[in-house]
Amino acid sequence: MPEIASIPPLTKLSEEEELFRDTVRDFAEHDVRPRVAAMEKAAAIDPALLAKCFELGLMGIEIPEQHGGAGGSLFMTVLAVEELSAVDASVAIFVDVQNTLVNNLLLKWASDDVRRRYLPRLAADLLGAYALSEPESGSDAFGLQTKATRRGERWILEGRKLWITNGAEAGLFVIFANADFSRGYKGITAFAVERGCKGFTVGKREDKLGIRASSTCELILDGVELPGASVVGEVGKGYKVAIETLNTGRIGIGAQMIGVARGALDAACKYVKERKQFGHPIGEFQAVQFQLAQAATELEAARLMVYNSARLEDAGEPYTMQAAMAKLLSSQVAERVTSLAVELFGGYGYSKEYPVEKFYRDAKIGTIYEGTSNMQLNTIAKQILK
């Protein structure tokens, strides 16, 4: 791996973090990379890789050891997502959503009973999904129309969810619905819903530009009946659950984007040493060198912001603004770096025979999910003007 795109010293990684990072990197190179092209063509994850992610402990990084997890940190999740994304962003998003949106949410908000029921399974073999978005509710996340009606000790869910990552494979869904529309967003409540519930259907799978092996699906809730114990957090506090979870999720997306950018930059650095024009490798031309230097500098800045926001959350410090900044910058940098990589490859960069066109397509989602770039700017502006 070229030094230009190596992990920076930041705060020196502990021996445990270095070992963990290297283990994930080895898995990405030897197990994931040989399968990338086939998964991209099939638009589906290889089940063997998902099983291996569980075996390596990548699906329960922050779950305490008492619940069968690795007992690690958010920073370790960031390291894993970056390493996987440098090879395939689709595999990385399985790990990211599981850890930052599902496990993290349950650890912070769920009752002891819900934690005991689901955390050991999420660490072992149960894939999770986070279901907030709807056909008419995207950036206006609290405009959701899915309805939760209490009937005695039970709840009935009615509505549709859209753009749900991991939807095709997940066995557990954290679904947000409004239990009292008269209270607006203060009626929103989170529920733990298992696949197979009567009235619950996974609908259409989206045919996407990038991260194609990652499933993105519609959920149909037609009278889904749940026990009262399925509520995650408190009734009417789902908006707070969603906001705080997405703040963490943005750090995970930042890690994905710096990984995508790093993968593209590594490929470009290797290619410019091999590709000759006018009798010289194009990497010897100053114009090419300067573009690579600029890309490496921007990637380093984005990586430091992502790492810093993860360290802040792990330390229990405020991180909302830093997470928004990290997600904003890393997604912008990923777009620029992957675009440059395609250009440096020339016509080959536009071909599916070479890796950079996939990195380029995978980068685009970073400016959209877990809050668009405009929503990140909105968050940052509110924080600095407080």
Looking up residue 339, the CATH number of its domain turns out to be 1.20.140.10
Closest CA to 250 of 314, 326, 364, 140: 326
Gap between the Cα atoms of 367 and 95, Å rounded: 19
Range of the domain at 78: 3-127
- Model confidence band, residue 10 (pLDDT cutoffs 50, 70, 90): low
- Model confidence band, residue 138 (pLDDT cutoffs 50, 70, 90): confident
Task: Identify the pLDDT of residue 121.
Answer: 98
Is 190 in the same domain as 114? no
Question: Using only C-alpha atoms, what is the Rg of the chain?
Answer: 21
Is 214 in the same domain as 274? no
Task: Identify the pLDDT of residue 11.
Answer: 57
CA angle 196, 194, 82 (to 5 degrees): 120
Q: 């819900």: which residue's tokens? A: 114
- Region 289-300: what's the mean pLDDT? 98
What b-and-e string marks burial along 83-112, b requiring 16 or more CB atoms within 10 Å of the CB?
bbbbbbbbbbbbbbbbbbbbbbbbeebbee
- Region 157-170: what's the mean pLDDT? 98
Is 221 in the same domain as 319? no
pLDDT tens, 227-275? 999 999 999 999 999 999 999 999 999 999 999 999 999 999 999 999 9
| Total domains in the fold of the chain | 3
Amino acid at 41: K
- Contact (Cβ atoms closer than 8 angstroms) between residue 134 and residue 159: yes
What b-and-e string marks burial along 263-279, b requiring 16 or more CB atoms within 10 Å of the CB?
bbbbbbbebbeebeeee
Is 378 in the same domain as 259? yes
Is 111 in the same domain as 150? no
Task: Work out whether strand 216-227 and strand 200-205 pair parallel, antiparallel, or are unpaired.
Answer: antiparallel
- Of 214, 238, 262, the one marking the end of a domain is 238
**CATH label of the domain that carries residue 215:** 2.40.110.10
Task: Identify the pLDDT of residue 175.
Answer: 98
Q: Is the pLDDT of residue 6 over 70?
A: no
Q: Is the pLDDT of residue 7 over 60?
A: no
Closest CA to 243 of 181, 319, 307: 319
Is 133 in the same domain as 40? no
pLDDT tens, 334-354? 999 999 999 999 999 999 999
Is 264 in the same domain as 376? yes
- Model confidence band, residue 3 (pLDDT cutoffs 50, 70, 90): very low
- Region 352-358: what's the mean pLDDT? 96
Q: Is the pLDDT of residue 158 over 80?
A: yes
Is 61 in the same domain as 192? no
Instruction: Show contacts of 202-208: CB within 8 Å, 24+ apart.
Output: 202/167, 202/168, 203/160, 205/167, 205/168, 206/163, 207/43, 208/43, 208/365
- Model confidence band, residue 53 (pLDDT cutoffs 50, 70, 90): very high
- Of 218, 238, 258, the one marking the end of a domain is 238
Structure tokens at 69: 């997890």
Alpha helices in the chain (DSSP H): 15-27, 36-42, 47-55, 74-85, 89-96, 104-109, 112-124, 238-274, 286-314, 320-344, 356-363, 373-384
pTM of the predicted structure, to 2 decimals: 0.95
Whether 274 is catalytic: no
Amino acid at 152: G
Q: Which of 134, 298, 335, 370 is catalytic?
A: 370
